[in-house]
Amino acid sequence: MPLENDTLLRALRREPVDHGPVWLMRQAGRYLPEYAALRARAGSFMALATTPSLATEVTLQPLARFPLDAAILFSDILTIPDAMGLGLSFAEGEGPRFARAVADEASVGALEAPDLARLSYVFDAVGQIKRALAGRVPLIGFAGSPFTLACYMIEGGASDDFATVRKMAFARPDLIDRIVAVNADAVAGYLVEQLRAGADALMLFDTWGGLLSEAAYQRFSLEPMRSVLRRLPAGVPTILFTKGRAGSLASIAESGASCMGLDWTADLGDARRRHGARIAIQGNLDPLALLTDPRSVEAAVVDLLRAAGPEPGYVFNLGHGIVPATPPENVAALVAAVHAISRSATSGAAARAIVPGESAGSRAGPRVHGA
Amino acid sequence: MPLENDTLLRALRREPVDHGPVWLMRQAGRYLPEYAALRARAGSFMALATTPSLATEVTLQPLARFPLDAAILFSDILTIPDAMGLGLSFAEGEGPRFARAVADEASVGALEAPDLARLSYVFDAVGQIKRALAGRVPLIGFAGSPFTLACYMIEGGASDDFATVRKMAFARPDLIDRIVAVNADAVAGYLVEQLRAGADALMLFDTWGGLLSEAAYQRFSLEPMRSVLRRLPAGVPTILFTKGRAGSLASIAESGASCMGLDWTADLGDARRRHGARIAIQGNLDPLALLTDPRSVEAAVVDLLRAAGPEPGYVFNLGHGIVPATPPENVAALVAAVHAISRSATSGAAARAIVPGESAGSRAGPRVHGA
């Protein structure tokens, strides 16, 4: 089925678009009252993620409110280690825990990529979401990066500082090598199946690559992601996002991904100038900007669109996931501002012409939220 | 009094040295049993910091154990907002708190740089430490950066995400401008007094500049630090350390500081190649490497010294402060390795010649801890 709105895919291929595509990491989530209601009915986060009909409903919730240019599969990056038999659970307010950590010679040696049949609920969800979308916008499938999965597996769950992982990077790098190699096999197979089930683009979330030294990032995180990307069918649009590596963009730009996601600390304008001819770029508003007010959000959008410039290959997004306290009206203001400003820009007037004299960080922005 | 060991100052000026200087952020601190004992006797952290004789004793403790190339004043970055009357306290295990936050128009408008007489205990400590050091090694004075102080002042203490600060950067940037301007006045005066009292070099700790977008970092953090540096006497060696800004090194290199400190995620070799002709560089071992074992620590030192290269202008340090769980014997191994390897390198053999075939992250390193 051809897509009604393929703006995201065009931007990922660095083709011209009539408006700038926008989607938001964690766009389906706790800031939406309808999500909270459905989660309460389902009983748990994992019930939502493992029941295709519920995952479908959650995935579509933000699209009913906002004219976003993409849907993203509602799931969790830890489905893979869960399918490896590590015993995933989510304690309320505590983040993910595994019954078994993978942090010694024996557990690392025993590690194997999971039978993908154990993840069929994910592929079923992808298929159902595609049917429900009926071609409105593309669907992004995703996985955690091999290293980010390894972080949770080694630590046995979430952590403030991932001390076990960081120590292991010095004392037993060979163990991390083995874990990320197994994870790369698993992630590659998992993404290929999401693609078969109907995903239009694929994203790797490398939430914790920023914990590492540059040499360790290259070895434990970026190279395994490259390995995953090499195993995907040619031509599939891919997005690689590492948080906390604004200093590593040159090597990420050479990773083989179609697009690199920037966290909010990276210099979007500089990244576009240096790397925009080789790779599309996505990002990078501080998610906490969405805790302010529509006017401040619009001013921030103006600044970012100016930094991104008019050349093809830019996808508006946050620099990390939406936080639960976000007022939905600020998300509405953001999406409207991206569309209005980028439409003006692509219809002839450059973004900077809309707001002459506007300076970075100024509160004076265009009024696009119906005022 | 001339210094017996001026290696640090020579490195900060990018002059040749006969061995690589090494000191460690938080080298005086909780990982040392003698520190814990003294703190228990003093009753609190602030009692140590505000009593010059105790601050002197703590400052010298690590130098009695390890042949470090510098002492650093034992104090806290929050002495300045405390002297502004914000009511600093440290709850056990909770980090700093202020009785009054500075987060609205009225409190920001009322903010003034403190009377430096309220900080005389710091300058007295500097004088006492200098006398106690008797010229063995240089003494580094320091202050928190104007923005990092603002983070604690706005938030009213420590925070996981500094959400109030990050929101304010979008909604009320004018308020942050005012706070950091006042802080820059205070920090400049404070550092000048430390210099008068005997400090040989000065460091700005910008712990939280990494919270910000690039544009906001330039405006709220780097420019106020530049302003502080401009107000110091010409020729004083200065170190500027921002955590979490590996993507901003080019502009930090132009800040006017003698040296930039790198956190452990920055690419030391790349930074030395790009910026080493203009600015000395300090860093950047992951502090958690010190939680492993002497052999792993030495291998990490080998990798870092190779990345730093033999050119003048490099100071070995961690990429952030020593953590309390650090075994002192690993610190001993680190200091010995830096000295042994850098002495061999500067005496003719390049560092890489010591460990032929050594690859980054390999555990096979030279045995320099008495084996």
What is the bridge-based pairing of β-strands A139-144 and A95-98? unpaired
Q: Do the Cβ atoms of A247 and B265 come within 8 Å? A: yes
Instruction: With H, G, I as helix, E, B as strand and everything else as coil, classify residue A188.
Output: helix
Q: Which of A213, A303, A363 sits opposite B265 (nearest CB)?
A: A213
Task: State how far residue B263 is from chain A, nearest Cα, in angstroms.
Answer: 9
pLDDT tens for B275-328 read: 999 999 999 999 999 999 999 999 999 999 999 999 999 999 999 999 999 999
**A-chain residues near B163 (CB < 8 A):** 288, 291
**Cα(first)–Cα(last) distance of chain B, in Å?**
38
Q: Which of B213, B265, B361 sits opposite A264 (nearest CB)?
A: B213
- Chain A residue numbers with beta carbons less than 8 Å from the beta carbon of B245 are 246, 265
Tell me if B289 and A170 make a contact (CB, 8 A cut-off): yes
Total length of chain A: 371
Contact B266 A246 (CB under 8 A): no
Closest Cα in chain B, distance from residue A338 (Å): 17
Calculate mean pLDDT across residues B77-104: 92
pLDDT of residue A1: 73
Please work out, in degrees rounded to the nearest 5, the angle formed at the alpha carbon of residue A59 by the alpha carbons of A55 and A63: 155
Chain B, nearest residue to A298 by Cα: B170
**Residue written as tokens 């595609």?**
A130
B138 CA: distance to closest CA in chain A (Å): 29
* Distance separating alpha carbons of residues A195 and B28, to the nearest angstrom: 54
B152 catalytic residue (yes or no): yes
Report CB contact under 8 Å: A289, B170: yes
Contact check, Cβ <8 Å, B217/A265 = yes
State percent of chain B over pLDDT 90.
90
B363 with A173: Cβ contact below 8 A = yes
What's the rounded Cα separation, in Å, for the pair B73 and B59? 6
Q: What pTM did the predictor assign?
A: 0.93
For the cut 70, the answer to whether the pLDDT of residue B358 exceeds it is no
CB atoms within 10 A of CB B4: 10
CA angle A292, A294, A296 (to 5 degrees): 60
Nearest to A173 among B163, B307, B361 (CB): B361
pLDDT confidence of residue B344: 86
- What backbone phi and psi angles, to 5 degrees, belong to B36? -60, -40
**What's the confidence (pLDDT) of residue B239?**
98
Q: In which residue are the tokens 């069929």 written?
A: A120
Q: What is the mean pLDDT of residues A290-298?
A: 98
Whether A247 and B244 lie within 8 Å, measured CB to CB: no
| Cα of A318 to nearest chain B Cα, Å | 12
Answer yes or no: is pLDDT of B66 > 90.
yes
Chain A contacts of B321, Cβ < 8 Å? Answer: none
Overall average pLDDT of the B225-250 stretch: 98
Instruction: Answer yes or no: do B170 and A292 touch at CB < 8 A.
Output: yes
Task: Tell me how far apart the alpha carbons of residues A146 and A152 are, in angstroms, rounded to a whole number.
Answer: 10
Distance of CA A227 to the CA centre of its chain: 19
User: DSSP labels for A30-56?
Assistant: TTSHHHHHHHHHH-SHHHHHH-HHHHH
Confirm if A357 and A324 have CB atoms less than 8 A apart. Answer: no
- Looking at residue B350, its pLDDT comes to 44
Contact B247 A264 (CB under 8 A): no
Give residue A346's pLDDT. Answer: 65
- The CA dihedral of A148, A222, A13, A352, to the nearest 10 degrees, is 80
Distance CA A209, CA A216 (A): 9
A172-230 pLDDT, tens digit each: 999 999 999 999 999 999 999 999 999 999 999 999 999 999 999 999 999 999 999 99
Distance CA B211, CA A237 (A): 30
Q: Which residue among the candidates B26, B97, B166, B272 is catalytic per the annotation? A: B26
- What pLDDT is attached to residue B334? 98
* pLDDT band of A344, cuts 50, 70, 90: confident
Q: Please write the tens of the pLDDT for every residue from A79-120.
A: 999 999 999 998 777 789 999 999 999 999 999 999 999 999
Q: What is the mean predicted confidence (pLDDT) over A281-304?
A: 98
> Residue B264: its chain A contacts at CB < 8 A?
213
Q: Report percent pLDDT > 90 for chain A.
A: 90
pLDDT value, residue A347: 62
> Residue B112, exposed/middle/buried by CB under 10 A (0-12, 13-18, 19+)?
exposed
Give the closest of B173, B212, B300 to A170, CB-based: B300
Taking contacts as CB-CB distances below 8 angstroms, the residues of chain A near B246 are 214, 245-248
Of B163, B216, B249, the CB nearest to A291: B163
Give the chain B residue nearest A212 (alpha carbons). Answer: B265
Half-sphere exposure at residue A348, Cβ-oriented, CA atoms within 13 angstroms: 0
pLDDT for the residue numbered A93: 74
Share of chain A above pLDDT 70, in %: 93
B363 neighbourhood in chain A, CB within 8 Å:
171, 173
What pLDDT, on a 0 to 100 scale, did the predictor assign at position A352?
A: 43
DSSP element (H, E) containing B282: strand B280-285
Of all residues in chain B, the one with the smallest CA distance to A217 is B265
DSSP string, B201-253: EEEEEETTGGGS-HHHIIIIIIHHHHHHHHTSPTT--EEEEETT-GGGHHHHT
Chain-chain contact of A170 with B247 (C-beta, under 8 angstroms):
no
> How close A365 gets to chain B, by Cα (Å)?
12
From the number of C-beta atoms within 10 Å of its C-beta (0-12, 13-18, 19+), residue B371 rates as exposed
What does the pLDDT read at residue B91? 79
Residue B368 corresponds to which amino acid?
Answer: V
**Which residues of chain A are within 8 Å of residue B213 when distances are taken between CB atoms?**
264-265, 284, 286, 319
From A211, A170, A158, A219, select the one nearest B326 (Cα to Cα).
Answer: A170
Tens of pLDDT, residue by residue over B96-132, are 999 999 999 999 999 999 999 999 999 999 999 999 9
Residue B346: the pLDDT is 65
User: A with B: how many residue pairs have Cβ under 8 Å apart?
Assistant: 123
Per-residue pLDDT, averaged over A57-85, amounts to: 98
Q: Residues with Cβ < 8 Å from A21, sequence gap 6 or more?
A: A7, A8, A10, A11, A69, A70, A315, A316
- Contact (CB<8Å) A163/B248: no
A361 contacts: CB under 8 Å, gap ≥ 6: A299, A303, B169, B173, B215, B216, B219
Q: Could you say which of B163, B170, B286 has the minimum Cβ distance to residue A300? A: B170
φ, ψ dihedrals at B255, nearest 5°: -75, -15
Q: Which residues of A are catalytic?
A: 26, 30, 39, 76, 152
State the smallest CA–CA distance between residue B184 and chain A in angstroms.
20
Distance, in angstroms, between B171 CA and closest chain A CA?
6
* B144 contacts: CB under 8 Å, gap ≥ 6: B77, B78, B80, B187, B204, B205, B206, B207
The yes-or-no answer on residue B26 being catalytic is yes
Q: Which residues of A touch B244 (CB under 8 A)?
A: 244, 265
Tokens matching residue B233: 């006497």
- Specify the residue for token string 């995907």: A232
Q: Using the beta-carbon criterion (under 8 Å), do B173 and A247 form an inter-chain contact? A: no
For residue B235, count CB atoms less than 10 angstroms from its CB and return exposed for 0-12, middle for 13-18, buried for 19 or more: exposed
> Quick check: B142 pLDDT over 90?
yes
CB contact under 8 A, A170 and B217: no
Nearest CB among A173, A211, A288 relative to B167 is that of A288
* pLDDT tens-digit series, residues B147-174: 999 999 999 999 999 999 999 999 999 9
Asked if B266 lies within 8 A of A289 by C-beta distance, the reply is: no
Averaged pLDDT, A278-307: 98
Q: Which residues pair with B89 in a beta bridge?
A: B97
Q: Let me know how many helices (H) and strands (E) chain B has, helices first.
A: 17, 9
Predicted confidence band at B11 (pLDDT cuts at 50, 70, 90)? very high
Quote the CA–CA distance of A340 and A343 in Å, as a whole number.
Answer: 5
Give the helix/strand (H/E) hosting A296. Answer: helix A294-308
Query: Would you state the structure tokens that stand for residue A94, as one six-digit string?
Result: 């505590």
Residue A210 to chain B, least CA–CA distance (Å): 7
pLDDT for residue B12 is more than 90: yes
Tell me the per-residue pLDDT of B14-48, one tens digit each, with 9 for 90 and over: 999 999 999 999 999 999 999 999 999 999 999 99
